[in-house]
Amino acid sequence: MPTVIPADSVGLVTPQIEAFDQPLDLEGGRVLEQYELIFETYGQLNSRKTNGILICHALSGDHHVAGYHSLDDKKPGWWETCIGPGKPIDTNKFFVVCPNNLGGCKGSTGPASKNPKTGKPYGPDFPIVTVKDWVQSQARLRDRLGIKQWAAVIGGSLGGMQALQWSIDLPESVRHAVVIAAAPKLSAQNIAFNEVARQAIQSDPDFVQGRYMENNKVPRQGLMLARMLGHITYLSDDSMREKFGRELREGKLKFGFDVEFQVESYLRYQGRSFVDRFDANTYLLMTKALDYFDPAQEYDQSLTRALSRAQAKFLVMSFTSDWRFSPARSREIVKALLDAEQDVTYSQIESAQGHDAFLLPIPNYLNAFSAYMRSVAREVCD
Amino acid sequence: MPTVIPADSVGLVTPQIEAFDQPLDLEGGRVLEQYELIFETYGQLNSRKTNGILICHALSGDHHVAGYHSLDDKKPGWWETCIGPGKPIDTNKFFVVCPNNLGGCKGSTGPASKNPKTGKPYGPDFPIVTVKDWVQSQARLRDRLGIKQWAAVIGGSLGGMQALQWSIDLPESVRHAVVIAAAPKLSAQNIAFNEVARQAIQSDPDFVQGRYMENNKVPRQGLMLARMLGHITYLSDDSMREKFGRELREGKLKFGFDVEFQVESYLRYQGRSFVDRFDANTYLLMTKALDYFDPAQEYDQSLTRALSRAQAKFLVMSFTSDWRFSPARSREIVKALLDAEQDVTYSQIESAQGHDAFLLPIPNYLNAFSAYMRSVAREVCD
């Protein structure tokens, strides 16, 4: 059944790949001799190359941010809500670039890629990559595209952390940083949830110390558990209540261990379908990048000092019911920016949808985001 | 190294066992032909038998609530904070009874017990038991002790739910109900966490469809994951921050998958040590009892109608940072009690310690609890 592509979509899109042969020195001390990044672009780069926007994805995201790969696609890219003609990130005005992160599993070099040294998949030998490493790897893609300064670097959750790190590590390259539903570093509770997810994956006998591909196995149960757990933290208690309440799957209690409540059925479905489209080693890497993110660390633990380097203007957004990265965490970023005498706009959006809100069409959110991006467009568009 | 037993402890205690041969009709439709309950008692039953207190335990609790089993014990019972001479539940005044719940793994009949029909452990054949079933099974213990009415039925978390159910199912048997850090039923989020824990246990290859004992196996990884996850929900984000912050286990980042942050080390330790003292099938049963608890269900979904039956007076307590069963959930109970024109005292305690607070020596908590229990003592003591 072919999709009718809506008029406000970027339409049919095709990913591109760039290969980089210069070794990349990683924060953890190891070196990646070569890597590829898969990415998509939407809109047109203007003649002065000032209207480029970098979208950074979160834990399970990828480079397919908007539009459709074919008329048979059931769903568009993951941020279709915010990217397209007339949308907050307006592709009539901006040239939008989104790579799959290094270490990913959707086409950029990662644990599932062939290790040129062994001819086998990297698996657990793929190095740990950090948010700083992503910034460096993405900077090379920017160079290839001939862009000196992004009009904006934008991301939600782990994507927002990349936007923040870009503004600190490559200050002259970022005109605006849009940091949505993020935090300046993970809390102990955040790390704890990640650790349970990792333990679930690593203790699955089919994980085979990360060499499951060579062994023709998939750590399905572990990855499914990790995703189920993640999913709970993306939703708010309220949104789960609204979505499922205590509805029974079959209308009455069965007093057994099969699915009883709708929420159980939903989580199992989410977990299972994730396994078919995501790589366990990549999931481990992404949670580690989250844990390690702490831009203040290089600056005597002072986020203010770190952000003093930035030359960007900032838009920080948070959602009231987000308990994964609560508004209080966004306000820590805002406070550090103000203390660093930076230009920051903060928007706290009323929403019951938890962390997932940043992906959803919430009118106040889209309006605030659009207003900010219109002012960015006025600065940079020809 | 022998413990010096503090003067305000009940001291050395010895569990007792009562066997019940009359079949118990369970809410799920099955019948338990016979069962045993292990329990401890502290203090003296008065001549009129009016000073009996029933303590109901939570998910991983047991009958060893206070005191020491031997001078070599490193730790006292799990609610030593609240039970003993001069403590809120004052053993100089009250006769305190605490059984291990049916389906438990500390001495009462449960999945690890021998099934008289097969001579093997029940394992997964042990029936699902509910909070209502526990009330019925505990009522028989009360009869054996010759007690007509408990001075109070008291519990925290799942224990508080039992106190609530006692007040509804056997109204004439409960003079006071003390319901601490509980909820009138689980939210979808609560159920979701339980479901992830169950999936972790059930997907462990060493679970063997629940027949791990017969197969000389233990689903260690699954039970460990379940406990790690549970532990996160018992603590608040703040208390984890205070306890661990982002402290590194070895002072510097290692960029690998071994333990990196203190909180990971703590959780792994908690998970591992739990496996040595708890049974996986019991864990599954307890989470199901939590999921199913919904006393309003029998009364046209009206908690007010359910609680209208009660003859008890109520003390409801909650803790501000408890996000597992938040103060809002306790206030639902209080509102239903007020709507039912019942006598209720509500105390919301400031605390950063999350759900675990009900086990901790928080002065405002102990003071409020003590004051209430002194008034109970004045009513019932000789």
The neighbour count for residue B30, using CB atoms within 10 Å, is: 15
Q: Are B160 and B181 in contact (CB under 8 A)?
A: yes
Nearest partner of A45 among A190, A125, A146, judged by Cα: A146
Neighbours of B172 (CB within 10 A): 9
Helices marked H in chain B — which ranges?
131-144, 158-169, 188-202, 220-234, 237-244, 262-275, 280-292, 303-308, 327-339, 363-380
Structure-block tokens of residue B152:
């109070």
Split at pLDDT 50, 70, 90, the class of B268 is: very high
Residue partners of A86: CB distance under 8 A and separation at least 6: A8, A92
Nearest to B29 among A30, A245, A255 (CB): A255
Asked if residue A273 lies in contact with residue A74, where contact means CB atoms within 8 angstroms, the answer is: no
Q: Which of B53, B70, B60 is nearest to B14 (CA)?
A: B70
State the complex-level ipTM. Answer: 0.94
Q: How far is CA B95 from the centre of its chain?
A: 19
Tell if the CB–CB gap between B188 and A253 is shorter than 8 Å.
no
Alpha-carbon span B292 to B194, nearest angstrom: 12
Chain centre distance of CA B73? 21
Q: Do B246 and A189 touch (CB under 8 A)?
A: no
Residue partners of B54: CB distance under 8 A and separation at least 6: B97, B98, B138, B142, B150, B152, B153, B154, B166
Contact B255 A284 (CB under 8 A): no
Dump pLDDT digits (tens) for B294-324.
999 999 999 999 999 999 999 999 999 999 9
Interatomic CA distance for residues A378 and B109, integer angstroms: 73
Q: Where does the pLDDT of residue B3 fall: very low under 50, low under 70, confident under 90, or very high at 90 and above?
A: low
pLDDT above 50 for B1: no
Interchain proximity B188–A288, CB inside 8 Å: no
B115: alpha, beta or left, given left = phi > 0 and alpha = psi -120 to 50?
beta
Contacts of A32 (CB under 8 A, 6+ apart): A23, A24, A26, A102, A109, A127
Q: How many CB atoms lie within 10 A of CB A320?
A: 17
Contact state of B264 with A195 under an 8 Å Cβ cutoff: yes
Rounded-to-integer distance, Cα B243 and Cα B230, Å: 17
Tell me how many residue pairs between chain A and chain B have CB atoms under 8 A apart: 151
State the catalytic residues of B: 157, 322, 355
Helices B280-292 and B220-234 sit at what angle, rounded to 10 degrees?
40
Chain B residues lying within 8 Å of A208, measured CB to CB: none
* Candidate list A322, A330, A351, A356, residue with the active-site label: A322
Closest Cα of chain B to A28: distance in Å?
6
Residue B217, classed as helix, strand or coil, is coil
What is d(CA A193, CA A229) in angstroms, rounded to the nearest whole number?
Answer: 8
* Residue matched to tokens 């000789």: B382
Residue B319, SS3 per DSSP: strand
Q: What string of DSSP letters covers B120-158?
A: SB-GGGSPP--HHHHHHHHHHHHHHTT-SSBSEEEEETH
* pLDDT tens digits for range B91-133: 999 999 999 999 999 999 999 999 999 999 999 999 999 999 9
C-alpha to C-alpha distance for B136 and B32, rounded to whole angstroms: 12
Rg (chain A; Cα; Å): 21
First to last CA, chain A: 40
Of A196, A200, A255, the CB nearest to B28: A255
Cβ contacts of residue B348 below 8 Å, gap of 6+?
B317, B318, B319, B320, B327, B330
Which residues make beta-bridge pairs with B95?
B52
Contact A87, A42 (CB under 8 A): no
Whether residue A200 lies within 8 A of chain B, CB to CB, comes out as yes
Q: Which amino acid is at A34?
A: Q
| Residue B122 pLDDT | 97
**Are the C-beta atoms of B68 and B74 separated by less than 8 Å?**
no
Q: How much of chain A is in helix, strand and coil states, percent to nearest 5?
A: 40, 15, 45
- Distance from the Cα of A203 to chain B's closest Cα (Å) equals 7
Lookup: tokens for B255:
């960029």
- Is residue A326 within 8 A of residue A318, CB to CB? The reply is yes
Nearest Cβ partner for B255 among A29, A240, A260: A29
Partner B, chain A 133-172, Cβ-Cβ below 8 Å: none
Cβ of A340 under 8 Å from any chain B Cβ?
no
Q: Which residues of chain A have pLDDT under 50?
A: 1
Amino acid in the structure at residue B270: Q
Q: What share of chain B is helix, strand, coil (3-state, %, to 5)?
A: 40, 15, 45
Over residues B197-240, the pLDDT tens digits come to: 999 999 999 999 999 999 999 999 999 999 999 999 999 999 99
Give the whole-angstrom CA distance, residue B12 versus residue B68: 5
CA distances from B152 to B53, B99, B138 (A): 5, 15, 14
Which residue from A minimizes the CA distance to B27?
Answer: A255
Q: Cβ–Cβ contacts within 10 Å for residue A348, how many?
A: 17
pLDDT tens string B148-206: 999 999 999 999 999 999 999 999 999 999 999 999 999 999 999 999 999 999 999 99
Q: How far apart are the first and last CA of chain B?
A: 40
What is the sign of the dihedral through the CA atoms of B116, B117, B123 and B125?
A: negative
> How far apart, in whole angstroms, are the C-alpha atoms of residue B255 and residue A227?
23
Other residues' Cβ atoms within 10 Å of the Cβ of residue B144 = 12
Q: What are the backbone angles phi and psi of residue A31, rounded to the nearest 5°?
A: -125, 135
Shortest CA gap A318–chain B (Å): 18
- Which residues, including other chains, have CB under 8 Å from residue B242's CB and lie 6 or more apart? B352
Tokens matching residue B241: 């921050």
Place of tokens 């979505």: A243
Crossing angle (nearest 10°) for helices A220-234 and A262-275? 120
Pairing of strands A313-319, A176-180: parallel
Q: Pairing relation of β-strands B83-84 and A83-84?
A: unpaired
Gap from B223 CA to chain A (nearest CA, Å): 11
CA geometry: angle B71, B73, B78, nearest 5 deg:
125
Window 20-59 of A: residues touching B by CB (8 A cutoff) are 27-30
Helices A237-244, B188-202: inter-axial angle, 10-degree rounding: 90
> Which is catalytic among the residues A113, A137, A157, A321?
A157
The verdict on whether A322 is a catalytic residue reads yes
pLDDT at B245: 85
On whether any CB of chain A is under 8 Å from the CB of B206, the answer is no
| Model confidence band, residue B248 (pLDDT cutoffs 50, 70, 90) | confident
